[in-house]
């Protein structure tokens, strides 16, 4: 047979050469997330990370370490990114969804791995995605030590892709935040979100594109004239650094009684996960500003108030339940760390629910 008569992997839709070019392209971004605990091995088949290390400059050993692991994706928000042809933010969302969950337990993120599935491997496009993952890892102080890019033309349509992420962290066993200490009188603090974050996009797309027939490039007056797609792609805020710094400041007292990452299920669905069965969270919905994108979606839907608070974060991306005597000082510390902090409610006697007023 002639050489041209043989079938190659590339003819079936998968390019090994393109993957090699992509790996070379992302190496610098990946390395930018590595600290002294990453053990670099050329052409290793897995990432290596030291939990304890004794170098004087970087010493951080654990007495009773507990590993904490999370995995997540960004859901149908990737469809907006596909429509916009933007690949520079979605990786931040991917990191945020796992590391923001992890710090709820009081853990410090250590390392992250990503999985990317595509129809066709465009080295430049995939490199931008991985670079955005690396940017998220730098925001979260965790190392990107590995990943996988799968080229599957028979499974994904042209320009389609999906992403998943996996994070591992650590917390001292006696510093795990469990929610067991929550009691009536505790103050509920909310940290401002950057927008929709990465939940509720099936409803967003139903409102904007199916009902209102909008395009991602449309400029919306109610959104300060910004392009709709740019507003919808605002990346999820990563709360790791301020929360880890706050918890390290209380080495003996446990003044942070519980925390919650406000994802799918909104405030009414996520806060009860950290409440004792005999406590309620009474929230004051007028105590923080609601970003314009939520008002716009509610009006265009229309969507009832109850559904909005059940689906979206409504401007609060992360919640802390704290001892009342420390509420003001914690607010000050988080504000100095760059967070928008609001006293959004109190803990009352109840049955493990959230009440809105």
Q: How far apart are CA 300 and CA 177, in angstroms?
A: 40
Give the chain's count of helices (H) and strands (E).
Answer: 11, 14
Q: How many CB atoms within 10 Å of residue 281?
A: 28
Q: For the chain, which residues make up each domain, given as ranges?
A: 3-175, 187-356
Which stretch of DSSP H or E encloses residue 25? helix 16-31
Q: Do domains 3-175 and 187-356 have the same CATH topology?
A: no
Name the superfamily (CATH) of residues 3-175: PurM-like, N-terminal domain (3.30.1330.10)
pTM listed for this prediction:
0.91
Using alpha carbons, list the distances in angstroms from residue 79 to 133, 226, 233, 265: 17, 19, 10, 21
Give dist(CA 245, CA 268) in Å, integer. 27
Which pLDDT belongs to residue 219? 98
Q: How far apart are CA 305 and CA 298, in angstroms?
A: 8
**Terminal C-alpha separation, the chain:** 78
Closest to 147 (Cα-Cα) out of 159, 132, 169: 132
What integer pLDDT is reported at residue 4 of this predicted model?
Answer: 58
Per-residue pLDDT of the chain (357 residues; tens, 9 = 90+): 666 565 555 655 555 566 566 566 667 777 888 888 888 877 778 888 888 776 665 567 788 999 999 999 999 999 999 999 999 999 999 999 999 999 999 999 999 999 999 998 888 889 999 999 999 999 999 999 999 999 999 899 988 999 999 999 999 999 999 999 999 999 999 999 999 999 999 999 999 999 999 999 999 999 999 999 999 999 999 999 999 999 999 988 899 999 999 999 999 999 999 999 999 999 999 999 999 999 999 999 999 999 999 999 999 999 999 999 999 999 999 999 999 999 999 999 999 999 999
pLDDT score, position 238: 98
Tokens 């390290």, residue? 248
Instruction: Give the residue among 157, 35, 167, 50 at the shortest CA–CA distance from 99.
Output: 167
- For 187-356, which CATH class? alpha beta
């Amino acid at each position: 047979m002639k050489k041209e008569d043989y079938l190659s992997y590339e003819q079936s839709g998968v390019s090994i050469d393109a993957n090699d070019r992509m790996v070379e392209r992302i190496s610098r971004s990946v390395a930018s997330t590595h600290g002294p605990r990453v053990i670099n091995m050329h052409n290793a088949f897995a990432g290596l990370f030291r939990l304890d290390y004794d170098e004087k400059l970087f010493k951080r050993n654990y007495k009773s370490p507990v590993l904490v692991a999370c995995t997540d994706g960004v859901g149908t928000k990737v469809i907006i990114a596909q429509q916009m042809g933007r690949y520079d933010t979605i990786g931040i969302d991917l990191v945020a969804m796992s590391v923001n969950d992890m710090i709820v337990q009081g853990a410090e993120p250590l390392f992250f791995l990503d999985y990317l599935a595509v129809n066709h491997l465009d080295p430049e496009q995939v490199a931008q995605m991985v670079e955005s993952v690396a940017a998220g890892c730098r925001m979260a102080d965790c190392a990107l030590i590995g990943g996988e890019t799968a080229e599957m033309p028979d499974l994904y349509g042209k320009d389609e892709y999906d992403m998943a992420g996996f994070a591992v962290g650590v917390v001292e066993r006696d510093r795990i935040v469990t929610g067991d200490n929550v009691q009536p009188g505790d103050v509920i603090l909310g940290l401002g979100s950057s927008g929709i974050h990465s939940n509720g996009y099936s409803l967003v797309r139903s409102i904007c594109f199916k009902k209102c027939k909008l395009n991602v490039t449309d400029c919306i007056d109610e959104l300060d004239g910004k392009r709709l797609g740019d507003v919808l792609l605002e990346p999820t805020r990563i709360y790791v650094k301020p929360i880890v710094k706050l918890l390290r400041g209380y080495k003996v007292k446990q003044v942070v009684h519980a925390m919650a990452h406000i994802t799918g299920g909104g405030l009414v669905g996520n806060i009860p996960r950290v409440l004792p069965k005999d406590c309620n969270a009474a929230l004051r919905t007028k105590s923080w500003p609601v970003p314009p994108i939520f008002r716009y979606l509610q009006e265009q839907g229309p969507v009832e108030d109850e559904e909005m608070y059940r689906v979206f974060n409504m401007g609060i991306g992360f919640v802390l339940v704290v001892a009342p005597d420390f509420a003001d000082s914690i607010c000050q510390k988080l504000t100095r760390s760059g967070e928008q902090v609001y006293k959004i409610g109190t803990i009352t006697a109840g049955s493990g629910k959230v009440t809105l007023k």
